[in-house]
Chain A
Amino acid sequence: MAVFNAKKREIECKIVFYGPGRSGKTTNLEYIFKSYKKQVSGEMVSINTEGDRTLFFDFLPMGLGKIKGCDVRVQLYTVPGQVKYSSTRKLVLRGVDGIVFVADSLKVRREKNMLSLKDLHKNLKEYGTSIFKVPLVIQYNKRDLPVPLMSIEQMELDLNRQLKVPSHPASAIKGDGVGITLKECLKLTLISLQKQLKWTQ
């Protein structure tokens, strides 16, 4: 749930990177932190377990400057993807304004992607919104790995047949596709917020 301060003309919104365990959510944020120095407005905080798996969330604040006369600040979060952290995942999702779903292109992770998308669907529903309404972009990550990968067509069929949201192949570790995914998600989110909050010049 975005915070809009009409007087100061400030808006703060929340983007959550969702997806199965190990799909590369944290890697996305790390790349953004390294590469968008100008927009990053604070430290990236990661609360993880020993094995570098996200325990609670990663957090990265950004400032996009003035858009339509309004100062736009964005908080990026990742959820923990491992199945056992379902209640934390739901907590982090609360009040989300836009979502990047990071899917894993490895063939062996096919089912995990679908289960995670289903989990997202359920959690959004329990928060009284819908996966069909929330600004959402899908990323097909790890395209660089030399192991059996699913084709993009296959992944579109698995994950995006009904949703029909923008999607991008990526290699978060190299940074390919990270920027465009984020920008697309921000664009959708801001359009949706402009509609909701009726914020114009």
Chain B
Amino acid sequence: MDLKTRLKSLLEEAEIYRSQGLFSDAKTKYEEAAKLIESHDQLKRNTNLLNAIAKKINLLENNSQNVETLPKSPEIPAKAQDLIKKLFSNGQKQDAGKAELEGAIALAKFGQFERALVEFNKLMQTDDSARFVCVKNILRCHVELSDIDEAIGAYRQWLRDEFLPPDQMEQIRQFLEKLLKTKKINQILPKAGGEPEVENEAAGGSEQEDVPKDKPEEFLDISTIVLEIDNDETQLPPVELDVSFQSGNIISLIIDKKNKDLINALKEGDQIDDIQFYSSIAIFMGSGIIQSKTQIESGPKRGDFSVDIRVIST
């Protein structure tokens, strides 16, 4: 292929990628074209062409930037929200109240927090059995919208009104404190039962523990864990174990066959508390349930054990 034909075909290819919305592929082709021009004196003289290509590249960079910076879940028109509510709840299969609740949860999952708040507030008034779930979700929506004062204000109001039984209110308190920690806010909230209120602890700070969000979809990647067995039967010092694989909230560990005591102490179905989970952005404490324990039968790790743990609370 002669030089001109090659250049022409590069430019055509780039243009097609651009029209397909494949901005970074288009950019790569334009850059190849520019390089080709610069490496040949006869073409190099054509500064117009080089300038035109530079402009194209610039535009493409802007386009990619625009696509990248679009918000992930902007509020969408009410009609589209209605559709989400309808499609993502099992309306036909169950009673209307439950479908309403599922619809509201779906809205929150799609990031439609303002609308979800309206729905949860409405539901909470009409359906007593939905109160607890509504309260949790209302708090989550406020926090997602960064309306921290609203969240705390709502919690205080429910507490005063004894909107939920004390044990549920206590769960809500813990839930909200965790939620606030995800936003790096260390707030101690008043408890049900009337302990004196402690005012606003210092907020922020990078040393604070971060807690993962309470959404299964967004489970943090865990790289290592530290666990300690300390029960009636067995006491073992803390060990650090690498996570070999993770799928959602289930992590897999490989334990060396030499670690007999540890292997024996980990029983399927058992719950282990106070596990330290290390991820690239946070360390947190939590509990896990031993999902399975199997001996590896072949390969370099033969004889070692593969243990799956389901992370249940963090």
Which residues in A have some Cβ–Cβ distance to B below 8 Å? 3, 5, 12, 22, 45, 47, 49-53, 55-56, 59, 75, 82, 84-85, 87-88, 90-91, 94, 106, 108-109, 122, 125-126, 142, 145-148
Contacts and interface: CB of A to CB of B under 8 A. Distances in A.
B83 A45 contact: yes
B83 A59 contact: yes
Nearest to A89: B217
B22 interface: yes
B25 interface: yes
B130 interface: no
A91 B88 contact: yes
B59 interface: no
A146 B217 contact: no
B76 A47 contact: yes
Contacts of A47: 76, 80
B22 A126 contact: no
Nearest to B25: A108
A126 B248 contact: yes
Interface string B54-96: 0000000001001110101110100010011001101011000
A159 to B, nearest CB: 19
A41 B258 CA distance: 64
Interface stretch (B12-20, B120-128, B133-141): B12-20
Interface string B104-140: 0010011000000000000000000000000000000
Contacts of A147: 12-13, 16-17
B201 interface: no
B84 A22 contact: no
A120 to B, nearest CB: 14
A91 B217 CA distance: 9
A50 B21 CA distance: 12
A49 B70 CA distance: 8
Nearest to B215: A87
Contacts of B110: 56, 88, 91
B247 interface: yes
B2 to A, nearest CB: 19
A59 B87 contact: yes
Contacts of B92: 3, 5, 12
A34 B156 CA distance: 54
A53 B21 contact: yes
B110 to A, nearest CB: 6
Q: Interface centre among A12, A75, A146, by most B CB within 10 Å?
A: A146
Contacts of B84: 56
